[in-house]
């Protein structure tokens, strides 16, 4: 595993090499902004699911977000900023730990860029592994965590806000999850070439 300061850019030579070896390119957004735009429906869906879980145990009011009849009041302090950065780090680590042999991999990268954290790997993996990697931070932090904390009576306002922010920020992950779910056959291997995703049937890979 390596630490990177820059999100990988698309390399046409890498794609040509993969395509000549019969890898099939996933039909997916070609840049970050397109991904964010197309993921907006999932942002609303994710948020609705998390809010529904939270409100099973504790009301979620606008006042908790600093919105009241007197206007909007947002207080920033080092604790809140630190908690937000910690959330980003934990989110990316939850992607990372499900990557095969991530701690030994020389082609797996974790880092922070201007739009947030990222984890990229060029390790080959099964479809189910890819789906788990994509959905893990949302599933664990924005569904399982509020369920457990709500049952224990520990859903404080800061935690509610953090799990909701993670839910909204996971929209691109969920977009990728469904793109792979519906485009990639069950018995296929997936690999990333920089920011792009490719797949090949397992029996074809064995014959190479």
CA dist 96 and 99 (Å) reads 6
The CA-CA-CA angle for residues 19, 22, 25, to 5°, reads 55
What would the two tokens of residue 61 be?
Answer: 């009011």
Cβ-in-10-Å burial (0-12, 13-18, 19+) of 76 comes to: exposed
pLDDT at residue 54, rounded to an integer: 95
- What's the average model confidence in pLDDT over 137-150? 97
pTM over 0.85: yes
Is residue 139's pLDDT more than 90?
yes
In this predicted structure, the answer to whether residue 129 has a pLDDT above a threshold of 70 is yes
Query: CA-CA distance, 140 to 168, in Å (whole number)?
Result: 14
Please report how the helices 127-139 and 157-169 are oriented relative to each other, as an axis angle in degrees rounded to 10.
Answer: 150
Half-sphere exposure of 106 (CA within 13 A, CB side): 0
Ranges of H-type helices in the chain = 12-20, 32-38, 40-54, 78-96, 127-139, 145-152, 157-169, 171-183, 202-206
pLDDT at 154: 93
Between 104 and 47, the higher pLDDT residue = 47
pLDDT at 208 over 60: no
Question: Which pLDDT value is given to residue 195?
Answer: 87
Measured in residues, the chain has a length of 208
Q: Contact at 8 Å (CB) between 137 and 33?
A: no
Domain total in the chain: 1
pLDDT at 179 over 80: yes
- Cβ atoms within 10 A of the Cβ of 33, count? 10
Asked if 131 contacts 158 with a C-beta cutoff of 8 angstroms, the reply is no
- Which residues constitute the domain of residue 186? 2-206
State residue 159's pLDDT score.
92
Query: Is the pLDDT higher at 80 or at 87?
Result: 87
Q: What does the pLDDT read at residue 73? A: 61
| pLDDT score, position 2 | 81
pLDDT at 203: 66
What's the mean per-residue pLDDT of the chain? 88
- Let me know: does 208 contact 21? Beta carbons within 8 Å: yes
């Amino acid at each position: 595993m390596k630490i990177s300061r820059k999100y990988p850019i698309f390399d046409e030579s890498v794609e040509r090499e993969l395509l000549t070896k019969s890898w099939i390119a996933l039909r997916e957004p070609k840049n970050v902004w397109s991904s964010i735009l197309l993921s907006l429906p999932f942002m609303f869906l994710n948020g609705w699911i998390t809010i529904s879980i939270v409100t099973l145990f504790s009301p979620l009011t606008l006042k908790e977000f600093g919105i009241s009849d007197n206007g909007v009041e947002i207080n920033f302090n080092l604790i809140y900023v630190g908690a937000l950065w910690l959330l980003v780090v934990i989110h990316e680590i939850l992607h990372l730990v499900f990557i095969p042999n991530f701690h030994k991999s020389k082609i797996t990268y974790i880092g922070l860029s201007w739009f947030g954290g990222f984890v990229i790997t060029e390790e080959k993996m099964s479809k189910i592994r890819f789906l788990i990697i994509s959905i893990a931070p949302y599933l664990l932090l924005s569904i399982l965590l509020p369920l457990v904390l709500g049952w224990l009576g520990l859903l404080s306002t800061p935690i509610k806000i953090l799990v909701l922010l993670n839910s909204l920020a996971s929209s691109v992950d969920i977009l990728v999850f469904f793109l792979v779910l519906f485009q990639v056959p069950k018995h296929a291997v997936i690999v990333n070439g920089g920011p792009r995703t490719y797949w090949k049937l397992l029996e074809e890979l064995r014959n190479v």
